[in-house]
Structure 1
Amino acid sequence: MKTIYNVTKFTWASMLMLFPLLILAQTATTTITGSINDRETRQAISGATITLVGTNISTISNTEGDFALKIIETTTKPSLLIEALGYKNSIQDIADIDNDIDIRLSPKSVDLSEVQVVGYKSAKELVKKVFNKKRENYIGEPLKMTAFYRETIKKRNKNASLAEAVVSIQKEGYISNKEDQIRLLKSRKSTDYAKLDTIALKLQGGPFSTLYVDVMKYPEYIFTPETLNAYNFSFETPTELNGKDVLVVGFEPKPNIVGPLYAGQLYVSSTSLALQKATFTLDLTNEIEVNKMFVKSKPNGVRVKARDISYEVDYREKNGKWYYGYGKANLSFEVKKRRRLFKSIYTLSCEMAVTDWKVTTANAFNKSGEISPSIIMADENLGFGDPEFWGEYNVIEPERSIEAAIKKIKRNLEKDDNYRASLGGK
């Protein structure tokens, strides 16, 4: 007998098929740039966290291992803390911030003998304890965060849409039932409608799509008391993360469970039992239920099929308490029109990295520019022609493919009479 679990509530990264796409005094700083690679293989390390020691200012490395971190110019002899999954932490003293720095991390392997797993009846019991210890392990006060958000839509390998934004987040404490809030500080957006082939994809939720990946704040989106029993949990090879030994718990839906549910890994501190990282993918077997979650509307004669839907969340620690630091969602779909021989492959990706934060009060959030979870990023072309557009804000360095797309946008803007007129005829 099959058990059916309805998880249609999990629509925070909804994809819609519509016509056409509509994605609805500064302190002096200097920039430290560099790349992070594996010391042994020289392979680029993506998703590494780079933090200015003694502050909450941070960024992450992109898929090519590159990063840029803006700091106040008066900072003397800055040091960077670099953390990455499976590697030893590294402290980098910056002697010359005018040059790119090459940071090489040493892999860290952890034997089962180094990690205490006794005392847990099963991996499932450990997962339950992780959520039961949320009050102890995660920041209880509300936080005001600054974060950078990037959203891309590709048709095959070509960038068809690019949206970027700096946002302010009122991050409610982990023991609070209040929803997080987001305020848009600055954004830019461009879309090549020709590549979207008259069918447009749009990512509903914008920055909320990555914020709701925070499974410790929003456990109901993946592990409810009901769905917890629908998974098999198992211990996998432990590793190191943020300088701490972590237990790795794998999970997958039980046989004969009709979801859709998820499969992935949870990275749990072996001492405090804090969840430090989670990666998971959606089981796409039940195509009808998957489409209910993500395809809200589409033109007649169009078939949409999910190819891959995956998520990632990373947490950071300060004074023994953990908080949301990075979220990512990747969604890939096949789109085929009736009487068309070939299908189109669209990939929607979004990521958000917290670049600074401070403890605040519940009523300190400036609601001017506040956005809703149903937002579609505004269609804004300005900014791509201005190299100083982001000012003092920290952002995730663009990959080479995105840099190429931005250069193309700049060239198109330079040819646009209205844009030149907005610059005073330059």
Structure 2
Amino acid sequence: MKRFIATVLSFFCTAAVFGQNGYIKISGKILDHDTKKPLAYVSISVSKSSIGTVSNEEGAFNFYIPSSLKEDTLVISHIGYETLKRKVTNSQNIGIFYLKESTITLKEIVVSASGAKSLIEKSFRAIPNVYTTDPYLMEGFHRSWERVNFADSISYPGTLIEAAVTIYDPGYGKKENRKFSEQIYINEIRRSALMDGWNYNKNALRQLLNENLVRHNQSQIIDIKSFLNFPNSLIYEFEGVTEIDGENITIIKIETTNDKNFSATFRVYLSDKDLAILRIDLYGETKGIDYAQHIWQLDTVSAKFIFKRHLNKPFLSYAQTKYFIKKIDLVKKSIIQTEEYFRELLINNIVLKDVDYALKKLGPRSGSRSMALKAGTYNQSFWQNYNLIKENPADQEVILFFEKKAN
């Protein structure tokens, strides 16, 4: 069987001291060698810490590390590519990552639906042993936005929220209820202007965390129970093998079944080492408008949950959901309104020591209502004193859209 391994031909890493705060700026861009297309969601981390980031949809990454780590090693890894390690320096090396496809022979796997489902079942049972059951903190960056468009070409930007957050997780394998769910703390936040009449009763980051089917047992955006809950009516099959960080990975495709003219497919990446789920991808779409259904209909949905090992345990590294819904005039059989939603979370650092002490130093918890209600005015100066991450991953077109509307 084939495995895709990357050969890095060139590298771009710019390191500069960040202001007077003792930080080094690390930035670069990663492209596929053959297609010359950007590689999105490539993991970039620092070997002696849990600090890291991922590349955006343009293949670029941009983050800050303490200057005390200037002699440490950058670790760049991506599913299907060879892991690269480079020393952090204060110099500038201008270039680009070109990741090249390669092949090696992997062990044979039994390509049957029952075998694929059995492997997922074993992965589910392994969760308490594979993922940490001890409390920990995740420090990172959250972005969410909405856009609304009406049939008469009137457009509203909704609200753009960008926040530095700390998330307390009591550990995997705990009973599924509010007590053992993640707790969100806001360090700093900015937003665009509030849209009149918008529903601000839900916390977008809380919604995003709930879509992690390894951590929670039900997906809200496509209304199915987790593929880790058995028995279920999902369709399982082996799709292939690949590699990440030197680990052999088995890919399992899981298709949902429903009677609403909506198809959705998960791809789950399982480590052969300990059956850890290191990535979940989802894509779903409506096959056509059903005027016999409800006035609101889900059009497309996509999700990504990427896990990164720290001290040999997988932790959430990046999460994203996008979904597009339509409001239908069932009588005139026309689309009268569309709404687009985006949520993402990039974990920059994992805290495992003195968690209780660190928790006491945090401010008040974020409630279930929208973070937009807790923010001040939208302003660019927010990032000048925030060294963990800077507009990454970022859709600049969306950012400019909201800033123009806010002004």
Taking the TM superposition and a 5 Å limit, the aligned residue runs for 1:146-295 are: 146-155=139-148, 160-177=158-175, 178-191=180-193, 193=195, 200=198, 204-221=202-219, 222-223=225-226, 228-254=231-257, 262-281=264-283
One-letter amino acid matched to 1:274 = A
One-letter amino acid matched to 2:182 = D
Report the alpha carbon displacement of residue 190 of structure 1 after superposing the two structures with TM.
0.5
Write the distance in 2 (CA, Å) between the matches of 1:226 and 1:62: 32
Match of 2:129 among 136, 150, 153: 136
Report the alpha carbon displacement of residue 219 of structure 1 after superposing the two structures with TM.
3.2
One-letter amino acid matched to 2:190 = R
Asked if structure 2 preserves the Cα contact closer than 8 Å seen for 1:58 and 1:356, the reply is: yes
Closer, same or farther: CA 378–241 of 1 in aligned 2, 3 Å: farther
Report the alpha carbon displacement of residue 332 of structure 1 after superposing the two structures with TM.
0.3
Asked if structure 2 preserves the Cα contact closer than 8 Å seen for 1:330 and 1:349, the reply is: yes
1:52 aligned partner: 46
1:423 aligned partner: none
Asked if structure 1 preserves the Cα contact closer than 8 Å seen for 2:326 and 2:335, the reply is: no
Closer, same or farther: CA 209–360 of 1 in aligned 2, 3 Å: farther
1:312 aligned partner: 304
Closer, same or farther: CA 219–192 of 1 in aligned 2, 3 Å: closer
Report the alpha carbon displacement of residue 348 of structure 1 after superposing the two structures with TM.
0.3
1:196-253 residue CA offsets vs partner (Å, 9 max, x unmatched): xx77466822211222232222134432776643111100021223332211111113
Report the alpha carbon displacement of residue 284 of structure 1 after superposing the two structures with TM.
5.1
1:87-146 residue CA offsets vs partner (Å, 9 max, x unmatched): 2212233445556652232335565xx034259961110000001111221122111110
Match of 1:103 among 97, 100, 111: 97
TM-score after normalising by structure 2? 0.78
1:13 aligned partner: none
Write the distance in 1 (CA, Å) between the matches of 2:88 and 2:229: 50
Provide the secondary structure at the position in 1 that maps to 2:192: strand
1:298 aligned partner: none
Asked if structure 2 preserves the Cα contact closer than 8 Å seen for 1:160 and 1:192, the reply is: yes
Write the distance in 1 (CA, Å) between the matches of 2:230 and 2:43: 32
Closer, same or farther: CA 71–328 of 1 in aligned 2, 3 Å: same
2:69 aligned partner: 75
Asked if structure 1 preserves the Cα contact closer than 8 Å seen for 2:161 and 2:371, the reply is: no
Report the alpha carbon displacement of residue 341 of structure 1 after superposing the two structures with TM.
6.8
Write the distance in 2 (CA, Å) between the matches of 1:77 and 1:225: 42
Write the distance in 1 (CA, Å) between the matches of 2:259 and 2:333: 35
1:92 aligned partner: 86
Write the distance in 1 (CA, Å) between the matches of 2:345 and 2:77: 17
Write the distance in 1 (CA, Å) between the matches of 2:335 and 2:147: 17
Report the alpha carbon displacement of residue 389 of structure 1 after superposing the two structures with TM.
4.0
Asked if structure 2 preserves the Cα contact closer than 8 Å seen for 1:36 and 1:104, the reply is: yes
Write the distance in 1 (CA, Å) between the matches of 2:94 and 2:402: 22
1:20 aligned partner: none
Closer, same or farther: CA 340–217 of 1 in aligned 2, 3 Å: closer
Larger relative contact order (CA 8 Å, sep ≥ 6): 1
1:283-339 residue CA offsets vs partner (Å, 9 max, x unmatched): 758999xx99xxxxxxxxxx4221012222111112321111111111101235688
Aligned length: 367
* Unaligned 5+ runs, structure 2: 1-19, 150-154, 220-224
Write the distance in 2 (CA, Å) between the matches of 1:51 and 1:362: 22
1:237-284 residue CA offsets vs partner (Å, 9 max, x unmatched): 212233322111111135x76798853111101232111111124575
Closer, same or farther: CA 324–340 of 1 in aligned 2, 3 Å: same
Write the distance in 1 (CA, Å) between the matches of 2:208 and 2:242: 25
* Unaligned 5+ runs, structure 1: 1-25, 293-302, 413-426
Closer, same or farther: CA 225–332 of 1 in aligned 2, 3 Å: closer
Provide the secondary structure at the position in 1 that maps to 2:243: strand
Asked if structure 1 preserves the Cα contact closer than 8 Å seen for 2:159 and 2:372, the reply is: no
Closer, same or farther: CA 342–135 of 1 in aligned 2, 3 Å: closer
Write the distance in 1 (CA, Å) between the matches of 2:115 and 2:226: 17
Closer, same or farther: CA 372–259 of 1 in aligned 2, 3 Å: farther
Asked if structure 2 preserves the Cα contact closer than 8 Å seen for 1:183 and 1:368, the reply is: yes
Report the alpha carbon displacement of residue 86 of structure 1 after superposing the two structures with TM.
2.0
Provide the secondary structure at the position in 1 that maps to 2:208: helix
Closer, same or farther: CA 402–52 of 1 in aligned 2, 3 Å: farther
Closer, same or farther: CA 102–390 of 1 in aligned 2, 3 Å: farther
Residues 230-239 or 336-345, more deviating = 336-345
Write the distance in 2 (CA, Å) between the matches of 1:158 and 1:84: 37
One-letter amino acid matched to 2:372 = M
Aligned-residue sequence identity (percent) comes to 17
